[in-house]
Every structure is written in structure tokens, then in C-alpha cells.
Structure 1
């Protein structure tokens, strides 16, 4: 009548990408942004973005870049520049001016895109450059003979 339950474990949930940093409303930033993790932009950013993780451009967010590269990009604000991502989602309030290269693309009714969409089976994001640059900046400066400089 009563059976022992089998000791099977439920399947593990897929990892959820998380937002680890926020550029808040009223904040403007210029430069090169790279790293690993999730970023939400509610202010304005101008420069270059290469993010090994998720980028969310919120409704008040404004991004102007030559190219935005991230694993997942969600646009609810405005992006001017090309986007390369494994997954791109443009929400109903989102506006994109630029070409898109992605594996997975979705839009909500009311979303705006002016540019070309290229669907690929695999997208090359190449975050290797950022990793090498971060490692290089962490190393001590070298003198003319190639030896590490020390402060006396």
C-alpha cells in the first residue's frame, strides 16, 4: 500500500545570471567597460563594453558604443551601436540603432530596431583580450632591461 519513495534527486536548475553592478540613473560614464558578471545601466554610458555575463539597459539607460559584447543583452532603454550577444532581448520600451549578431533573438511588441540582424549558430564573443589586459595591468612595470621595477 505505501511504498518507499525512490531517492532520486530533482534535476538541478540552470544557473541564473545575476546583476552584480549597477550604473544608476543620473550617472554618466565614459570609457572601456570589461569584466565578468551582470551589469544594469540606468544612467548613460559611452565607450566600449565587453562583458562576460549579462548586460541590462534599463528604461532610463542610454548606451552609445562602437560595439557591445556580452553573453546576454536585454534592452529596455536605448542602445546606439552594434550588439554581439549569444542572446538579445529588446523589450517594448527598448530602442536599438545598430547591427546585431546573435544566436537567440526576441522582441516585445513596440520594440524598435534599426539595423541588420544576423543569426548565427555560434557567436564569437572573445573576452580573451580583456582578460589579458587585466592581467597585464596587475603586473609590475618593467625597466629597459625587462626587469621588474622596485620602489626604493
Structure 2
């Protein structure tokens, strides 16, 4: 008497086991005349990871790359990411920013040169110029600088009337 059960019947031991990608166990062998469409393979998109600068850290340098960045401490330098940038309440960033989406609850002393969307939360403050596709400003937030939003990359804003022509 055997303690285990043989998964392959004795008469079919010479046929190779076929594996289904959706199931971790081998599927039963099918006759050669059966036509089966291959199972679709889903491309797994890698999730963007978030890098965090903790509240008790002070860092000076440059951040560049893909992925999301959350700053809860102090950072001095330029930030250029192909992802989202979150500056938490109580955080301070000094430098230029370029990201897909910027959520500002802390302080930014520098320019946002390129962003698809910028959300300035009630505790957020920016001292610098801002250029974004769309801008949301909450009551209580502070902005000091030149703001351009809603313009495409190729569009140029009209010059204000009364300005001098060069």
C-alpha cells in the first residue's frame, strides 16, 4: 500500500505533462487531434515604486529617474522624475522640480518647470514660478511667483497688452 497517490496513470506515463500558465498544477494530457488556442499571456506592467525621504532627514543633491518620490524631510537640489512627486506637510524642498504630477502640502522654494498636474493643498506654499498643464489651488495655500497653466507644450501664451514689443 502506497502512502501517496501517483498523479500520472500507469498507461500514460510516456506522455509529457502539459502546463497551463494560469494554473500551477500540470493539466491532463490532451489527444494530439485536439486543437487548443494558446492561453493569452498578460503583460504585467511594473508598478512604479515610491521612494521616501523621511521626516527626520536632510539631503542635498539631485533626484532623477522614473518612479514616485515622497519627501517628508528637507531636500536641497533639483528633482526630475517621470512619476509623481509628493511634498508632505512640514517638508521643505529648495530647488527646481519637474514631474508628471506634483502634490504640494509642504514648502517649495524653487520653480516647477514642467508638470502635467499640480495640486497645492491648504498647507502648501510655493515661492517660485510654476508651469503646468493643470493647477488646483486649495484655500489657505500660498503662491509667490509667475504661474502658467493650461498651455500645451507648443502653445505660447499671449503677451499682455500694454507691454513693450522687442
TM (normalized to structure 2)? 0.61
Q: Which runs of 5+ in 2 are unaligned?
A: 1-46, 155-166
1:64 maps to which residue? Answer: 94
Name segments (4+ residues, structure 1) moved above 6 Å. none
Structure 2 CA distance for partners of 1:18 and 1:60, relative to 1, 3 Å: farther
Cα offset, 1:119, TM superposition: 1.8
TM (normalized to structure 1)? 0.66
Count of residues paired in the alignment: 108
1:9-24 equivalences in 2 (<5 Å): 20-24=50-54
> 1:45-96 CA distances to partner (integer Å, 9 max, x unpaired)?
001110100000000210000x210000010000000002110010000010
Selected match of 2:106 from 77, 87, 97: 77
Structure 2 CA distance for partners of 1:87 and 1:42, relative to 1, 3 Å: same
Structure with the larger strand share: 1
Cα offset, 1:123, TM superposition: 4.4
Structure with the larger helix share: 1
> 1:84-137 CA distances to partner (integer Å, 9 max, x unpaired)?
21100100000100000011100111010001111243349xxxxxxxxxxxxx
> 2:60 matched to 1:47?
no
Equivalent-residue separation in structure 2 for 1:78 and 1:47 (angstroms): 14
Identify which of structures 1 and 2 has the higher relative contact order when contacts are C-alpha pairs closer than 8 Å and 6+ apart: 1
Structure 2 CA distance for partners of 1:94 and 1:19, relative to 1, 3 Å: farther
Structure 2 CA distance for partners of 1:113 and 1:19, relative to 1, 3 Å: farther
Q: Which runs of 5+ in 1 are unaligned?
A: 1-16, 125-152
Cα offset, 1:43, TM superposition: 0.3
RMSD (Å), alpha carbons: 1.9
Question: Does the CA contact (< 8 Å) of 1:18 and 1:54 recur in 2?
Answer: no
2:141 maps to which residue? Answer: 111
